[in-house]
Structure formats: C-alpha cells, structure tokens
Amino acid sequence: MICVVTGVAGFIGSHLAEKLLDVGHTVRGVDKFLGNYPRRFKEWNLAQVRRPGLEFIEEDLVGIDLPALLDGVTYVFHQAAQPGVRSSWGEEFGEYTHNNILATQRLLEASKKSKIKKFVYASSSSVYGDTQDLPMRETGMTRPVSPYGVSKLSAEQLCYLYWKEFGVPTVSLRYFTVYGPRQRPDMFFHIFMRAHRRGQAIPIYDDGKQSRDFTFCADIVDGNIAAAEYPGAGEVFNLGGGSRTTVEEVVRMVEEISGKKAQLNMLARQQGDVRHTAAALDQARNKLGFKPRVKLYDGLAQEWAWMQHIGD
C-alpha cells in the first residue's frame, strides 16, 4: 500500500514512516522544513527513513499538486503542523493558520475525490485547555487556552466536517505530550536533557508540580496505524501514556537515569500552559485496541541514550 505521511522529517512523522516502511508499505513523505528549529535535526530524522520504499517531496502542502500526491494512496497520515504553544501568540499566528488550518483544509478538499481508505489527523490535547475535568474525555468540553490549541481544534473540526458532508474517512487523534528519541529541540525533555548533559541549569516553568500524561513516540505510532485500520470514521480518540506524572517526578527519574543531580532554574508559568493533563483512554482501548506499552522511566532512558549521540 502507498501511505502519505506529511511532516515526514519531523519527530513523530519520521518514526511513523519508519514503521510503515518496516512492515512493507510504500511511503510518500512530504515536508516543507519549517524554520521552527534547526534543519539539521530534521535532515537527521529523514536520514533514518531514506531507503527503498520512500518517495520524499520537499513542498508546502498549500501549494503542492495534491491530486498527484494522493494518486494511488490508501492511507493519509497528516502529521505536519506548526507546533508550539508559547510561540503561537501575536503575529506568529499567521503561520499557524497557514500550516495547521489552511494546509489541512486543502488536503481534505483534495481527499474528496481520492480513493483513500483513511485520513488520520494528528490533533493535540491542547484542544481541551486548562480544564479541571480529569481525565480528559473525547466527549468533554474543548476550550483551548492558546492560539496553537485553537488551530489544532479548527483543523480537527474540518476533519469532522469533511467526513459529515463529503464522506472523507477521517479519524482525529489527540496526542498527549509525546516524547522519545528525535524529540524536537524546543520540547521540554529535549531542553531539559541537553542542559543536564552540559551541567547547566534546567528551566522549569511554574512550580514543577504541574503534571502531564507523557506518551512515548512508539505508542503514538501504534495508535496511528490502529486508527488507519479502524473501520469507523468521523471520530476522535485520545492517545496518552496511561499515567499522569509531575515535572518534579520526571526530574528525579532523569537524575537516576543519568546518575547526577540536576540544577533547576525556576521560572514563571508561561501563557497558554495548562496545569494538568490526563487522557481518558477507554475509547481508544475499546475501538482501536490501543494500549500504551512503554513506561515513562524506560522511555526517558531511551531518550537520554539518544541525546548522548546527537551533539549540541
């Protein structure tokens, strides 16, 4: 089968493409190399999947020939997006509307006339906002507290609209704080581990007691493949790690893994940051057969080992 993976040079996109290639699929990967972090990291990600079976296209989804991209394709995995909560305010929001909303709408519009079996969209737990209603359920209120979250929810709603009105077989997956090897350098674990390896102070926003449902990248990949094979459509599923952990606890785990004490630089909470996240996984378990396999400590150990080889 031919699978389209957008954002193929990214953190999750490269892992997903690698798994699809491993099981015998052909991957048509698209990436525009957004300038949100150094290109060398994305080139390194892409190097892990450059092999027979990969057709790579460096292009903006808004301007690409989408009917040609989707020709003969069975599954679309739409991972491409402008990421980041803290950078989504002000004038930067134009990048989020272009890369997250408009690009998704163009891809959905082209999918109307294609023969794809499933359009899997990478959404985010940011759509829930700073709710106290935990665990976060797919049927719960969505009230984002960042422009990034608004853009992800808007694209998610477009997926539902194109399924409802045109029969495009969409499934949206709300990711909860994904981590692991190849994590973006602007994400907390990467920043934390890079500073810790150098013996520098680690920036901790808020008081460290904020918690997240951390999800290992391989579990996210499994959830994507399960969603593609799922017979239903027009639905939304949480993909989480299955347990909620504070930043303080993560720091202690990395200290144990690395064998050295961390230096902390406590900073004020940032706009758009939520206090807690926790994924209700009943729907994903019951309908997708999703079950996170990688425990947080083990996943952190894998990311720490990877960090030793990427340089500064």
Active site residue 148: yes
- Residue among 75, 128, 148, 175 flagged as catalytic: 148
Tell me which residue of 171, 285, 289 sits closest to 234, measured CA to CA: 171
The CB-side HSE value for 78 (13 A sphere, CA atoms) comes to 36
Residue type, 202: I
Considering all CA atoms of the chain, what is the largest pairwise distance in Å, rounded to the nearest integer?
Answer: 57
Quickly list DSSP for the chain: -EEEEETTTSHHHHHHHHHHHHTT-EEEEEE---TTS-HHHHHHHHHTT-STTEEEEE--TTTS-HHHHHTT-SEEEE------STT-SGGGHHHHIIIIIIHHHHHHHHHTTS--SEEEEEEEGGGG-S-SSSSB-TTS----SSHHHHHHHHHHHHHHHHHHHH---EEEEEE--EESTT--TTSHHHHHHHHHHHTPPEEEETTS--EE--EEHHHHHHHHHHHHH-S--SEEEEE--SS-EEHHHHHHHHHHHHTSPPPEEEEPPPTT--SB--B--HHIIIII-------HHHHHHHHHHHHTTS--
Q: Is the dihedral of CA 190, 195, 198, 199 positive or negative?
A: negative
The CB-side HSE value for 138 (13 A sphere, CA atoms) comes to 19
Q: Which residues are catalytic?
A: 148
